[in-house]
Amino acid sequence: MYPKLSSTLSKIVFDEISEKRKEVLKILINYVKEKLIAKQEPLLSFICTHNSRRSQLSQIWAQTAAHYYGINVRCFSGGLEVTAFNEAAVVSLKRSGFKVESVGEINPKYNVYYAQESKPIIAFSKLYSDKFNPSESFASIITCDHADENCPFIPYSEKRILLRYDDPKIYDNTVLEEKKYDERSLQIASEMLYVFKKVKN
């Protein structure tokens, strides 16, 4: 992994994950374990309304954490509407040590790298049903309350997991923007690392 990203990961501790939250994460842990025991590749699709912040961060950190612990999974993201991968979230990932390249101007595609030899995680805003995402035998992981309330059923998803995160959007264009985006990103990072560490063990 890139040195700065490795440094970020090495500083993450699991002490701030509450027992109540760990019970929620256990559902995801068990799903991944069950798929691996059945010798099936877990497909994880993180979903929020606009596929611009929380679901994108979750996809990227989950794929990175899986690589970190040597777990073979594929992670995706989608939304109920198409917007764009939020620039503040992209910049937060860069601060954590990811290499990010963008292609296009309106709803650009981002190639996100966690290591020199890694294939890019391709990140852009899209519907959860986009052809880029899995269409069967996947877990849908709902990362926001709006998507939970407005999309209670994800077609062809074999498991629905509610994993809400507070939206850093409320801090856009404030003096707290950078701090709050980093906090949310690192919360997601710590929980995805926790998940795949448990899967590994």
pLDDT tens, N- to C-terminus, the chain (201 residues):
999 999 999 989 899 999 999 999 999 999 999 999 999 999 999 999 999 999 999 999 999 999 999 999 999 999 999 999 999 999 999 999 999 999 887 899 999 999 998 899 999 999 999 999 999 999 999 998 876 666 667 888 999 999 999 999 999 999 999 999 999 999 999 999 999 999 999
Is 142 domain-assigned?
Answer: yes
Joined tokens for residue 60: 């990227």
Beta bridge partners of 110: 102, 123
Is 57 domain-assigned?
Answer: yes
Is 93 domain-assigned?
Answer: yes
The predicted pLDDT at position 150 comes to 67
Q: Give the CA diameter of the chain.
A: 48
Is 133 domain-assigned?
Answer: yes
Place of tokens 């970190």: 68
- The residue range of the domain holding 22 is 3-8+18-200
CATH number of the domain where residue 34 is located: 3.40.50.2300
C-alpha radius of gyration, the chain, whole number: 16
Is 148 domain-assigned?
Answer: yes
Per the structure, the count of domains in the chain is 1
The predicted pLDDT at position 160 comes to 93
The predicted pLDDT at position 151 comes to 65
Beta bridge partners of 43: 74
| Cα–Cα distance measured from residue 102 to residue 186, given in angstroms and rounded to the nearest whole number | 22
Q: Are 88 and 177 in contact (CB under 8 A)?
A: yes
Is 180 domain-assigned?
Answer: yes
pLDDT tens per residue across span 85-132:
999 999 999 999 999 999 887 899 999 999 998 899 999 999 999 999
Is 13 domain-assigned?
Answer: no
Beta bridge partners of 161: 141
Triad 63, 1, 51: Cα angle to 5°: 30
Full-model pTM: 0.96
Is 144 domain-assigned?
Answer: yes
The predicted pLDDT at position 148 comes to 67
